[in-house]
Amino acid sequence: MDVRLTAEQRQLRDAAAGLADDLGPGSVLDLDDAERTGRLEKAVGATGWRALRSDGASGVEVALVVEEFGRRLVDVPLLGPVLADDLAPGISSATVAVDGRARDTRGMRRALSVEGDRVMSAEIGPLVPGTDLTRHAAELRGTPEQIGTLSDEAAVRWRALAVVATSADLLGTARGAHTLARDYARIREQYGRTIGSYQAVAHLLAEALALVEGSVSVLRHAAWAVDELPPAEALRAARIAKLYCARAARTVCETAVQVHGGTGNTWECLAHVHLRRALTSTDLFPVRLEEIDRGLS
């Protein structure tokens, strides 16, 4: 047993982190900067990461890139296209649809979904206003048409990948919110001292970091399991990871709001952009507590 990342995996993570640091939104105002999103789109397109799966990447590698994009609130599609590419290898400009709605749609043309053993594709229609300020949802246009079939096993494995990918986004956005709050706690002063010097604030941030670390561990197993365990077991691992990461991300983002005080409750603070992204990823391929069965190790 050795559950460390390989050298190649660390390199991939660093590359994704570098791109996200350079071109992700650094403020709420940046979200409306079309010039930045244009450059971001170009850079992401050039990496080929939307086709990670058809390039033979493992669930672990998908999770690493998605996490880094979540951390810096990358606001061009990745998660949706990666899942679409897993369903229809090599397909371009495609994302996924869930519950009759296309997700992660910016610049995408089609949305794929799974119905029983059939892979369906539909054109993407008008945007629907949503909670997430970094990833858009849209209506579907016309009736979806079948473009392929999936075995039961493949469908369950795909579901596991989807649950893992959304969990990775949760971990990333939580990590980003934590960094935002930690940085603020180091500079904001009240009563002549930085607020981070008060134990009440420091402990909130320490707890949040522990939640992030727990998320890393549970997610790493689930991401590995996508390709290495029988589909049912992979899905079980993914569900555990999703529940943990979702709960942790919510708490960490709430902590980030709290540490920012009054400012944290305003639109201009990035904390709620993280929180909104976390809530959206929680609802995408959701897992209910009732789905955790007794058959666990």
Helix (H), strand (E), coil (C) string for 93-136: CEEEEECCEEECCCCCCEEEEEECCEEEEEEEEEEECCCCCCCC
- Which residues neighbour 191 within 8 Å (Cβ) at sequence distance 6 or greater? none
Any contact of residue 252 with ligand FAD (CB under 6 A)? Answer: no
**Per-residue string for binding with ligand FAD, 142-181, x by CB under 6 A?**
----------------------------------------
DSSP string, 174-211: HHHHHHHHHHHHHH-EETTEEGGGSHHHHHHHHHHHHH
Stretch of residues binding ligand FAD (CB under 6 A), selected from 55-63, 135-143, 144-152, 255-263: 255-263
CA distance 64 to 62: 5
Which CB, 51 or 273, lies closer to another protein?
A: 273
Nearest distance in Å: CB 2, another protein: 37
Which CB, 91 or 257, lies closer to another protein?
A: 257
- Which residues neighbour 239 within 8 Å (Cβ) at sequence distance 6 or greater? 163, 287, 291, 292
Q: Are 216 and 223 in contact (CB under 8 A)?
A: no
User: What residue 269 binds from ligand FAD, another protein, none (CB within 5 to 8 A, per partner kind)?
Assistant: another protein
Which CB, 84 or 253, lies closer to ligand FAD?
A: 253
Residue 247: both structure tokens together = 């709960």
CA distance 15 to 47: 10
Judged by CB under 6 A, the residue of 188, 221, 247, 250 near ligand FAD is 188
For ligand FAD (CB under 6 A), the number of binding residues is 13
Q: Are 205 and 284 in contact (CB under 8 A)?
A: no
Which CB, 95 or 282, lies closer to another protein?
A: 282
Nearest distance in Å: CB 187, another protein: 12
Which CB, 188 or 250, lies closer to ligand FAD?
A: 188
Nearest distance in Å: CB 193, ligand FAD: 8
Q: Are 147 and 45 in contact (CB under 8 A)?
A: no
Residues between 190 and 209 that touch ligand FAD (CB under 6 A)? 190-191, 195, 198, 200-201
In terms of Cα–Cα distance, which of 55, 49, 100 is closest to 76? 49
Nearest distance in Å: CB 284, another protein: 9
User: What residue 279 binds from another protein, ligand FAD, none (CB within 5 to 8 A, per partner kind)?
Assistant: another protein
Q: Which residues bind ligand FAD (CB under 6 A)?
A: 188, 190-191, 195, 198, 200-201, 258-259, 261-263, 265
